[in-house]
Amino acid sequence: DTWTARILTLFPEMFPGPLGQSLAGKALEKGIWRLETMDIRGFATDRHRTVDDTPFGGGAGMVMRPDVVDAALEAATADGLKPAIYLTPRGRLLKQELVQELAAGPGLVVLCGRYEGLDERVIEARGLLEVSLGDFVLSGGEPAALALIDACVRLLPGVMGAEATLAEESFNTGLLEYPHYTRPAEWSGRSVPEVLMSGHHEKIRRWRQEQAEETTRLRRPDLWDAYRKRKA
- Binding site, residues? 113, 133-138
* Under 8 Å between Cβ of 106 and 139: no
Tell me how far, at minimum, the Cβ of 128 lies from ligand ADE, in Å.
12
The span from the CA of 178 to the CA of 163, in Å, is 18
Binding of residue 216 to ligand ADE (CB under 6 A): no
Angle between the N-to-C axes of helices 142-153 and 96-104, in degrees from 0 to 180, rounded to the nearest 10: 70
**Which of the 8 DSSP states describes residue 7?**
E
Binding of residue 88 to ligand ADE (CB under 6 A): yes
The span from the CA of 110 to the CA of 12, in Å, is 12
Minimum CB distance to ligand ADE smaller for 51 or for 87: 87
The span from the CA of 141 to the CA of 117, in Å, is 10
Minimum CB distance to ligand ADE smaller for 44 or for 87: 87
The span from the CA of 34 to the CA of 157, in Å, is 14
Interface residue with ligand ADE, options 8, 87, 98, 128 (CB under 6 A): 87
Helices marked H in 80-232: 96-104, 120-125, 142-153, 163-168, 201-219, 221-231
The span from the CA of 181 to the CA of 169, in Å, is 16
Interface residue with ligand ADE, options 102, 141, 159, 224 (CB under 6 A): 141
CB-CB neighbours of 182 under 10 Å:
7
Tell me how many residues contact ligand ADE (CB under 6 A).
11
Contact flags string 99-138 toward ligand ADE, x per CB under 6 A = ---------------------------------xxx-xxx
Minimum CB distance to ligand ADE smaller for 27 or for 69: 69
Minimum CB distance to ligand ADE smaller for 137 or for 167: 137
User: Which residues is 109 bridged to in the sheet?
Assistant: 6, 84
Binding of residue 9 to ligand ADE (CB under 6 A): no
Tell me how far, at minimum, the Cβ of 10 lies from ligand ADE, in Å.
13
Minimum CB distance to ligand ADE smaller for 53 or for 130: 130
- The binding site for S-adenosyl-L-methionine consists of 113, 133-138
Interacting residues toward ligand ADE by CB under 6 A: 87-89, 132-134, 136-138, 141, 144
